[in-house]
A and B are shown apart, each in its own frame.
Chain A
């Protein structure tokens, strides 16, 4: 295994483009090292991105959104007051990842690029309308987060492409988001179902919404039908019932030791109702 420590994303992309064998980027390493240890993936080239200047920074963008460096670990997101105030749902998704020790290392970008359908931070990013900046052989491009996962363990990133930042849009006034997952215990487990919702209000009525589901399909899903079910409503009982129907219809889960397909589908509806209420309350000014 060759270990590289490029000092620019251009160099990182070039190293990846030139590599012919198994290539991995190293952010927090909490997936990469586990896979190496298990013998599942032993990279020929491992490209450590943490020496690139700026990768550990969280910065406000000119438009009032946030630019999150690809090496910012979960614990740092949780400690950032401004980010927690704007996007509590994104932060709470990432904070569910692993233990205190894992939080010291694990990143949003690694969670996204590992490609797990149950990745806890991804529904929150999708609901928030986050985008990624991608450096590649032909320069920079950007893509919505929901376009990155391609199936379990797979992404749509092309050889030689590396994510160079995650961008959250401005929250604006009267907006709120939330994420919850179902696991059979309170800590340290993989989501059976996850759901994130971000919405904005016009008075008491929902002006816009984005609903994302985890662990109920081969990738994290954005469900526009579920968003449409609550848009224009005050999240009354009819709206919650329509949300449940739309969410359940979007689920195509597998049955495994964590839960049957029927169970996952039902829990997705339950979580969507709970998460919608929290996001609504936060948009009304409730503290996260």
Chain B
């Protein structure tokens, strides 16, 4: 099986890798580029643990082929913190204990950031619908939703 050479931008850096055309973007990120923050929970679009942005759009990286990333921009959880400084969403997840095992967390953070960029003041219902494709098996969703609301308030400049 001949591999295809892919050039793409991940978290602002231009990267190259060789991909089997059947390989998902998730597998390419994890196995070819060593970016293991995105997780595989199901591989079939149901759990959202693999959520990334592709040219700005929130997608499941398990449902994108690595070769489809050619010439595009990809944003993953690894690009969220600024050096050692956590993004407000990440900080609020820690403060609210919105994670237990943490397997779902990268996907939820990437998805929540995409929401807050298009709606800086979402209602609880809007957050729950937006995150309906992100499954968490341990924490329960209340803390996650509260952490997102609190981060949104901080980003709007309101004291929570």
A101 at the interface (CB under 8 A from B): yes
Count, A-B residue pairs, CB within 8 A: 81
Minimum distance in angstroms from A230 CB to a CB of chain B: 32
Given contacts A99-B132, A187-B129, A104 and B57 within 8 Å (CB-CB)? yes
Q: Which residue in chain A gives the minimum CB-CB distance to B63?
A: A33
Is B46 interfacial (CB-CB < 8 Å)?
A: yes
Bound-state Cα–Cα, A1 to B48, Å: 26
- A24 and B48 alpha carbons, distance in the complex (Å): 25
**Which of A26, A36, A73, A101 meets B48, CB within 8 Å?**
A101
Q: How far is the CA of A46 from the CA of B23 in the complex (A)?
A: 13
How distant is the Cα of A2 from the Cα of B67 in the complex, in angstroms? 11
Contact between chains at A188 and B43 (CB < 8 Å): no
CB within 8 Å of B: which A42-84 residues = 42, 46, 48, 50, 73, 75
Q: Which residues of B are found within 8 Å of A99, using beta-carbon distances?
A: 45, 48, 132-134
A46: chain B residues within 8 A (beta carbon): 21
Q: How far is the CA of A30 from the CA of B56 in the complex (A)?
A: 18
CB of B22 within 8 A of CB of A34, answer no
Instruction: Knowing A2-B21, A33-B63, say if A101 contacts B133 (CB, 8 Å).
Output: yes
Would you call A29 and B64 a contact (CB within 8 A)? yes
Total number of A residues with any Cβ neighbor in B under 8 Å: 27
With A1-B21, A3-B4, A102-B133 known as contacts, the answer to whether A29 contacts B65 (CB < 8 A) is yes
The answer to whether residues A98 and B44 also contact, given A30-B63, A46-B21, A187-B132 and a CB cut-off of 8 A, is no
Alpha-carbon distance between A38 and B59 when the two chains are bound, in angstroms: 19
User: A187 to chain B: which residues have CB within 8 Å?
Assistant: 129, 132
Interface size on B (CB < 8 Å)?
A: 31
Is B111 engaged at the interface, CB distance under 8 Å to the other chain?
A: yes
A101 to B60, CA, bound (A): 6
Contact of A105 with B64 in the complex, beta carbons under 8 Å: yes
Shortest Cβ gap from B70 to chain A (Å): 8
- Taking a contact as CB atoms under 8 Å apart, the answer to whether A3 and B44 are in contact is no
Q: Judge if A100 is at the interface, Cβ distance under 8 Å.
A: yes
Q: Which residues of B contact A29 (CB under 8 A)?
A: 63-65, 68
Among residues of B, the one whose C-beta sits closest to the C-beta of A43 is B22
Given contacts A101-B51, A104-B58, contact A34 B45 (CB under 8 A): yes
Q: Is B38 an interface residue (CB 8 A)?
A: no
- When C-beta atoms are compared, the residue in chain B nearest to A99 turns out to be B133
Among B29-46, those with CB < 8 Å from A are: 43-46
Docked Cα-Cα span, A34 to B65, in Å, equals 11
Check A100 against B24 for contact (C-beta < 8 Å): no
A74 CB to nearest chain B CB (Å): 11
List the B residue with the shortest CB-CB distance to A76. Answer: B57
| B22/A101 in contact, CB under 8 A | no
Q: Least Cβ distance of B85 to chain A in Å?
A: 27
- Inter-chain contacts of A257 with B (CB < 8 A): none
Residues of B at the A interface (CB closer than 8 Å) are: 1, 4, 21-22, 24, 43-46, 48, 51, 54, 57-60, 62-65, 67-68, 111, 114-115, 129-134
> Can you list 8 A-B pairs, Cβ within 8 angstroms, ordered by A?
A28-B63, A34-B63, A42-B22, A100-B115, A100-B129, A100-B130, A105-B60, A187-B129
The 3 closest A-B CB pairs, nearest first, are A99-B133, A3-B21, A104-B57
